[in-house]
């Protein structure tokens, strides 16, 4: 009822029945009264100072997530608005929730999840979590790989078995032809190796023969020094009667007995050597010799000594001219003097025949 509004009297027969003691004044409640009732405080107290019975909280609307990690329940009730609790109620208990405080169809707000640090999130992401699905997938991959390997081996083994007889004959012919070609190549390489080895041996033998021939020719020609067994012949002339003919007779006797290298007073005696002069002043290749005359000869000592001492030989001729001479056999003598030969002016080698 609004102030200032006139009230119409009810008819006599339509009077409202009397209200029971303690009951509300009327059954009709205007919209303002209903809105005022919705804005009642959460404490549950009424204007007639009679406490309302605490309504049972519906457990189905309370989320399990409201529990802390240690099992204690979180307080999702609205903050205390300053209304003191009733006498006898514990001070730390939340205010009772009534049905009027929860709007019909409204969902209870869930608590915000606790925030975790970045390291905790990274560790949980990197942690290996094996599940049955992952294990099953790994087993399937292993079985598939094994099956592929077996299949490949079977295909390789069955590749020739599946070929026709004509294909097998063709493959056999190709293999045989290839083997024959390889064998021919091997034989050719072996022949080439034998030729190289034989040619190398022949060349080496020719080089060895050429070197020996050069050494022999060098010793005989007086171009190279030499050593070996031989004799040493010493001649002296107290009266100075040894003539160039006596020296030439001695040289011819040494050559006839097999002398290979001859040295006279430090000069090499060769095939072109010549004696000249007069008795007591003998020259060899235009060089004067002074007594005693020492012959160093390489050859067979016994043969040379016997040839010089025979009656009527070279030493007998020296003694007949007033000279003296003796022969000493040596196991080793050295002829160190050499002669530089002049190149021939007219003589040339004969070309080797093809035969």
pLDDT, one tens digit per residue, over 239-267 is 777 889 989 999 999 999 999 999 999 99
Query: What is the model's pLDDT at position 224?
Result: 94
155 pLDDT band, cuts 50/70/90, is low
* Beta bridge partner(s), residue 333: 228
pLDDT, one tens digit per residue, over 107-127 is 555 555 556 677 777 666 666
Query: What is the model's pLDDT at position 228?
Result: 95
Identify the domain boundary among 183, 204, 221.
Answer: 221
CB 219 within 8 A of CB 337: no
97 pLDDT band, cuts 50/70/90, is low
Of the two residues 109 and 135, the one the predictor is more confident about is 135
In a domain, 242, yes or no: yes
Interior angle at CA 93, CA 87 and CA 96, nearest 5: 80
Q: What is the number of structural domains in the chain?
A: 2
Return the percentage of the chain with pLDDT > 70, whole number.
62
Whether residues 233 and 262 share a domain: the answer is yes
CB 233 within 8 A of CB 224: no
Position 99 pLDDT exceeds 70: no
Whether residues 203 and 236 share a domain: the answer is no
Task: Count CB atoms within 10 A of the CB of residue 258.
Answer: 13
pTM for this structure? 0.45
Whether residues 246 and 301 share a domain: the answer is yes
Whether residues 327 and 237 share a domain: the answer is yes
In a domain, 274, yes or no: yes
Position 103 pLDDT exceeds 60: no
In a domain, 51, yes or no: no
In a domain, 296, yes or no: yes
Whether residues 169 and 259 share a domain: the answer is no
Query: Taking the mean position of all CA atoms in its chain, how far away is CA 247?
Result: 81
Question: Mean pLDDT over residues 88-110, rounded?
Answer: 52
Identify the domain boundary among 196, 221, 246.
Answer: 221
In a domain, 176, yes or no: yes
In a domain, 93, yes or no: no
Query: What is the model's pLDDT at position 52?
Result: 43
Whether residues 182 and 201 share a domain: the answer is yes
Q: How far apart are CA 224 and CA 204, in angstroms?
A: 23
CB 327 within 8 A of CB 309: yes
In a domain, 54, yes or no: no
Whether residues 167 and 264 share a domain: the answer is no
Question: Mean pLDDT over residues 257-284, rounded?
Answer: 91
> Using CA atoms in the order 249, 250, 252, 254, what is the torsion angle rounded to 10 degrees?
160
Position 199 pLDDT exceeds 70: yes
Query: What is the model's pLDDT at position 114?
Result: 56
Query: Taking the mean position of all CA atoms in its chain, how far away is CA 340?
Result: 63
Identify the domain boundary among 197, 221, 245.
Answer: 221
Among residues 289, 310, 306, 296, the alpha carbon closest in space to that of 243 is found at 289
Identify the domain containing residue 179 by its residue range. 163-221
Q: How far apart are CA 222 and CA 216, in angstroms?
A: 10
Q: How far apart are CA 333 and CA 254, in angstroms?
A: 15
Query: What is the model's pLDDT at position 152?
Result: 74
- Give me the CATH number covering residue 323: 3.30.70.1880
Position 149 pLDDT exceeds 60: yes
Return the percentage of the chain with pLDDT > 90, whole number.
27
In a domain, 297, yes or no: yes
Query: What is the model's pLDDT at position 296?
Result: 96
Least confident interval from 87-91, 188-192, 297-301, 309-313: 87-91
Quickly list DSSP for 112-159. PPPP--HHHHHHHHHS----HHHHHHHHHHHHHHHHHHHHHHHHHHHH
Position 67 pLDDT exceeds 80: no
């Amino acid at each position: 009822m609004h102030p200032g509004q006139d009230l119409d009297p009810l008819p006599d027969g339509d009077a409202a029945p009397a209200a029971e003691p303690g009951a509300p004044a009327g059954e009709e409640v205007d919209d303002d009264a209903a809105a005022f009732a919705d804005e009642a405080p959460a404490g549950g107290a009424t204007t007639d100072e009679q406490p309302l019975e605490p309504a049972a909280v519906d457990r189905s609307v309370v989320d399990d997530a409201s529990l802390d990690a240690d099992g204690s329940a979180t307080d999702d009730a609205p903050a205390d608005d300053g209304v003191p609790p009733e006498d006898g109620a514990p001070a730390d208990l939340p205010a009772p929730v009534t049905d009027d405080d929860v709007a019909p169809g409204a969902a209870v707000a869930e608590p915000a999840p606790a925030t975790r640090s970045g390291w905790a999130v990274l560790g949980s992401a990197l942690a290996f979590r094996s599940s049955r699905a992952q294990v099953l997938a790994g087993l399937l991959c292993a079985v598939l790989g094994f099956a592929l390997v077996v299949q490949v081996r079977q295909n390789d083994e069955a590749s020739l078995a599946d070929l026709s007889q004509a294909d097998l004959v063709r493959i056999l012919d190709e293999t045989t032809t290839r083997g024959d070609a390889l064998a021919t190549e091997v034989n050719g390489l072996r022949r080439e190796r034998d030729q190289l080895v034989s040619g190398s041996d022949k060349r080496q033998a020719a080089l060895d023969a050429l070197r020996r021939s050069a050494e022999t020719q060098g010793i005989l020609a007086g171009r190279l020094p030499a050593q070996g067994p031989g004799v040493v012949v010493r001649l002296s002339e107290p009266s100075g009667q040894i003539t160039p003919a006596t020296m030439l007779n001695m040289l011819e006797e040494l050559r006839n007995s097999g002398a290979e290298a001859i040295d006279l007073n430090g000069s090499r005696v060769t095939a072109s050597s010549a004696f000249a002069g007069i008795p007591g002043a003998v020259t060899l290749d235009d060089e004067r010799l002074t007594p005693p005359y020492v012959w160093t000869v390489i050859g067979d000592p016994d043969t040379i000594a016997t040839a010089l001492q025979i009656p009527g030989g070279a030493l007998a001729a020296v003694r007949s001219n007033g000279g003296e001479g003796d022969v000493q056999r040596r196991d080793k003598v050295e002829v160190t003097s050499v002669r530089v030969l002049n190149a021939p002016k007219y003589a040339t080698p004969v070309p080797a025949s093809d035969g």
